[in-house]
Every structure is written in C-alpha cells, then in structure tokens.
Amino acid sequence: MLTRKSIVAGQFYPGQHDACIDEINDFLDAIALNELLPETIVAGIVPHAGWTFSGSLAAMVFAAVRQQHEKVHTFIIFGAAHGYFGPVPAVFDRGFWETPLGQVPVDEELADEIIEASPGRSDCSAHRNEHSIEVQIPFIQYLFAGAKILPILVPPAEQAISLGENIGEIIGRSKDKKIVCIGSTDLTHYGPRYGFTPMGVGTNALKWADSVNDKKFIDVALQLEPQAVLASAAENRNACGPGATAATITAAKKLGSKKGILLAHTNSNEVMLDKMGTSSADSVGYAAIIF
C-alpha cells in the first residue's frame, strides 16, 4: 500500500512523537478563541511555515473546528503548489500519509468521486516534496482521531475555482460525513531574500507588507471572492497558495458560508521579535481564517 513518508519532520516540526504532541499542546494551551464561531465550520485557511513561526495559527484553525465539531470524517487539504507545475490539481488518492504520530489514511472513496467530477487528477508523485500539506497532518491526527485526509495540490489557475465548486457540490450531497476543507497558504514573502522589495527595506517596508499587502489578500478571502484571490496574488505577490485558497473559499461559498472570520494574522518578523528578541530584513505573513 502506498505510504507518503514525512519529509519535513524534524525540520518544520518535531521529528519525534512525544515532542510533536508536547508542541501541539503548547499551542492549544495558548489559544483564546475570542471570535464568535459559527455553529458549523466548513473550511479554514492555515499557514504552512515551520511550527515555530506559524504553528500556533494553524493550531487555532483546527482547534476552532474541534470546538464546533468533535467528529470530522475527512479533511480535504488543498496545498500550495511550490514545486508542482502541472496544469491540473494533483490528488493524492490512495494509501496513507505518515508523520511521527503514525499513519493517517487517505479517503479513497471521496478521492474517486472528486476525480470523476472535477478537474483534479490522480498524481501522488506530485506530493513527494511538498511540505504545505504535511505540516497540517499532525494536528488532524492528534485532535481528530480516526479522521481521514484527502491531499490535493492546487495550482493558481481558474481550475482551482472549478475544483472548489465541484467539491462543494460533493460535500453538500454527503449527509453521513462531516467533511472540512483546509487551504494552506502563507502570505507576502517580503525582503531581499525573496527578491520582493517594492517599498524598500526596513521597518516601514515590513509594516506595509503586513498591513497593506497581506490585507488585500485577506480581505478578498474573507469576502469569498476566488477570482480576486487569484488576481491579488498574481498582481501583488501576497500569497504562495492562491490556488489552494481559491478552491477553499469556493467550496465554502457553495456550502453556504457568507463570509470568513479572521482568527489571527501575524508575520515571521513579529514572531522573531517576540520569541527570539531579534528582527530581520525579510518577513512572511501568516493568517488563520475559518468559514
């Protein structure tokens, strides 16, 4: 049976079982969900940097889902296509994913249904070196015992919207399963390291990346505007997973969501200042959103 082994355990998140659980519990202990959560959560947006930088925001989204839905049958996880340049969404449709917390099964039945009805195509090899989905899996394993996953890499193209529409329809017809869509993206990658310095360098430039450039993307995501999400990322370079986001918010809208709720927004430079007492000329934005 096909098993996708972890590739960033010990790098992006702890490589040992107990250390993983300890860090997740630290995140959960620090979470205060002050926003009024909807009765039903159908989707979320999570970041995918190393847990040191963005794990607390990812944990926040999964904790919100857990608070409203103790049992989730399957998480459809739309991943950013960092190294996958195929023309269609790539579905990991068979087998298991493995992390230090063990193996989690792929929802093969749902995968078949999605492949038949959407632009998504079976391509497990596309996931071999992509981290944006993997870093979410331990949260699911720990908080939702028995849940399955369905990983899909989503290029930033119009097909992301078709994929989201098709999946929203499929979920809407599923009366005996609770299925939640998760979109994985980081926001503006600003600074010399990333070759993106339209406002120069320094404190004011990093503030612009956070409060102006990130906000453009967050605002259209909250308003469930997938076309604007794709356009904003292409024009403003304010997301690395616009396809994943577009698919997520399209599915959420199809499932009746009217707007998103921003749980938190930060960036790597703020995290460095808080945790390490140092700053950088570069910064990456992170947001936690539920629908």
CB-CB contact of 250 with 161 (8 Å):
yes
> Whose structure tokens read 């007492």?
277
Region 53-64: mean pLDDT is 98
Q: Residue 26's pLDDT band (boundaries 50, 70, 90)?
A: very high
pLDDT over 90 (residue 100): yes
Q: Say which range, 26-40, 68-82, 243-257, has the weakest mean pLDDT.
A: 26-40
The per-residue pLDDT for 156 is: 97
* Gap between the Cα atoms of 142 and 111, Å rounded: 23
pLDDT > 80? residue 34:
no
**What's the chain's average pLDDT?**
97
Give the pLDDT confidence score for residue 1 in this predicted structure.
82
**pLDDT for residue 36:** 85
Residue 220 pLDDT class (50, 70, 90 cuts): very high
Q: pLDDT exceeding 70 applies to what percent of the chain?
A: 100
pLDDT value at 211 more than 80: yes
Confidence of residue 32 (pLDDT cuts 50, 70, 90): confident
Spatial neighbors of 35 by CB under 8 A, at least 6 apart, are 261, 262, 263
Q: Average pLDDT of 141-169?
A: 98
Instruction: State the pLDDT confidence band at 68, using cuts at 50, 70 and 90.
Output: very high
Tens of pLDDT along 129-138? 999 999 999 9
| pLDDT surpasses 90 at 243 | yes
Residue from 77, 82, 192, 87 nearest 139 by CA: 77
Cα separation, 87 vs 120, whole angstroms: 10
Residues above pLDDT 90, as percent of the chain: 97
Mean pLDDT of 209-215: 98
Q: Is 90 exceeded by the pLDDT of residue 215?
A: yes
